Structure 1
């Protein structure tokens, strides 16, 4: 972009000034040639000075959109210079499991197995091989680039969604990610009807159609065993579920530990499903809008679909106040937009 424009400008300006010099040189050829040489030297020097003064690092960002860290949005997730965000955001961490990245470091394996109250001896390698015999073995969402602007809505289960009328706005996103048992039927006006991904752990599993990705959050090895046995059983019984198998994804234990250590600074025992999906969204989306997180404006904590259920803000396992503080910090940094609802 820069060099062709400078060259064209050089040709145009030089030819114009040559014409002026010719008019005022009284047609003395020797004087014209002398002035022409002097002018060319001055112009070449000015051109070199401009190139030296321009910051090459700035040129690399603005002139080369092929940089894999960029996107077609106004602002991209990977293009962040805030120190608070940089020390937490690791673009290299594995997000979803595949047979190629399933090996765990000794530290990750020890931490992950420790989440189970009574760890059992499990042949992890054989278990992973079984899992990826049941559904495609791939690593999706590696398509970031200058032509992509993926907008994602992360929809929590907070009662602040009641009366929000966010439904059409939520459904307008490319990805709509929901957690656990949060329903849409009967609540479409406030929470929308579209679901592209639903994050669950075995105890929170719900029936889904074959257009929704199941994102398993394995907080323990037994969760992998459970999903493996469940999928194998349903594959034999139901052909319809075979279609659903194509949509299964497993959050990588390394990613769970990364969120716990880098983002939560090891506060609590492990991250909540909602917070894991928030950080996951930062890694697979270019713009993230967050709905249904936090208390209602009257300070009450409950699910939009069950007012009897009191949400515990802080537990020994989850530090909800810490997680929400981070969400608000991301909002202040314009990394996400937090819709606080009613």
Structure 2
């Protein structure tokens, strides 16, 4: 009896081993057949046709967009505007194309009211507050006072929206660019931006003025006020300054009431803020300078961009980028880094080839 049981057990084990090797052999045969089929070209029936990847490629932008958005088709033949240099055209610079995201809006609206968690925590720590505020509730109240939508439409091949970004550098004195600056469709300035008495150098027109609560001032009715917020209190302040006037201090005294056109007030998008910090300045400094914020705002809403003397101090020196056609002065740490590393790529999009040089301290504004 014991011998019979042992024989039956041995037979069962042999059968199981046989079935195992039959299964392994079948899998190997299927793999080899599939490999041979692919090498001989038969697998093309199951592959995307040539060029399909380029046409259907999508761009996932963590933290900035809430879904999958189509990438623009590559190729110089696809013009996005009728200007000579179109910022939205692809193919002029691989570096620029890889970093430029045309789908992220520089303006904070009801459509992009929700900030991704990493964007919110980065932005909230720029100027930490002890008193918490419900961000969505604050924005909902604000968008009852100002427009909650973007004033900008998509790029069109028939459009040529030309923009000038003007800094506050003393190097504008004697340059005589006032008439040229005023000839643009949009003229963007920041903070104090004096023009009275400097019309010949800096121009007299302003269409967009970028300011913080602490640098805010009254504007003409035809000028868009673009608030660059660093904290939720800044959003409470602009709501107050356009209505009740109950806020007169943040970390410094601020205007209790602001005389601007409410319908032309825009809020700078913190997600766009962080996009510049991540993609363009690569975390040089705690956050991008005002000049960088305005420059990339223009690159995203305009078809053609010219910049005139963006300047500031950097360790007792000023770094100036100078081209034959476009004088450029950028000297914050991250700006210097950007132009040193990528000036050959970005310069053609701004109308010239900049050369980096130094200017003595006494010429800083």
Q: Same fold (TM over 0.5)?
A: yes
* 1:257 and 2:274 correspond: yes
Aligned to 1:270: 287
Q: Name the stretch that deviates more: 99-108 or 186-195.
A: 99-108
Q: 1:135 aligns with which of 146, 149, 165?
A: 146
Aligned to 1:121: 132
Aligned to 1:191: 202
Q: CA deviation at 1:143?
A: 3.6
Aligned to 1:322: 337
Q: CA deviation at 1:243?
A: 6.6
Q: Is the 8 A contact 1:294 1:324 kept in 2?
A: no
Change (3 A) 1:166 1:113: same
Instruction: Provide the aligned C-alpha RMSD in A.
Output: 3.4
Q: Is the 8 A contact 2:81 2:156 kept in 1?
A: yes
Q: CA deviation at 1:88?
A: 1.5
Q: 1:332 aligns with which of 329, 334, 347?
A: 347
Aligned to 2:52: none
Aligned to 1:160: 171
- Deviation string 1:215-258 (CA, Å, 9 cap, x unpaired) is 111122221122121112269xxxx9787101100111100000
Q: CA deviation at 1:271?
A: 0.6
* 1:204 and 2:204 correspond: no
Change (3 A) 1:339 1:324: closer
Q: 2:89 aligns with which of 71, 74, 79?
A: 79
Q: Distance in 1 between matches of 2:123 and 2:74?
A: 40
Q: 1:88 aligns with which of 99, 114, 121?
A: 99
More helix per residue: 1 or 2? 1
Equivalence map 1:2-21=2 (5 Å): none
Q: Distance in 2 between matches of 1:87 and 1:323?
A: 15
Divergent runs of 4+, >6 A: 59-63, 240-243, 338-342
Q: CA deviation at 1:140?
A: 1.6
Aligned to 1:284: 301
- Deviation string 1:137-162 (CA, Å, 9 cap, x unpaired) is 22121241122100000000111101
Q: CA deviation at 1:86?
A: 1.5
Q: Name the stretch that deviates more: 319-328 or 215-224.
A: 319-328
Q: Is the 8 A contact 1:163 1:190 kept in 2?
A: yes
Q: Is the 8 A contact 2:306 2:351 kept in 1?
A: yes
Q: CA deviation at 1:331?
A: 4.9
Aligned pairs, number: 265
Q: CA deviation at 1:84?
A: 1.1
Aligned to 1:90, the other structure's residue is in SS state coil
Which runs of 5 or more structure 1 residues have no equivalent in the other structure? 1-56, 303-310
Q: Is the 8 A contact 1:292 1:339 kept in 2?
A: no
Q: Distance in 2 between matches of 1:95 and 1:101?
A: 10
Change (3 A) 1:170 1:326: farther
- Deviation string 1:279-310 (CA, Å, 9 cap, x unpaired) is 111111111110022479xx9759xxxxxxxx
Which runs of 5 or more structure 2 residues have no equivalent in the other structure? 1-54, 56-72, 247-256, 320-328
Q: Distance in 2 between matches of 1:163 and 1:261?
A: 37
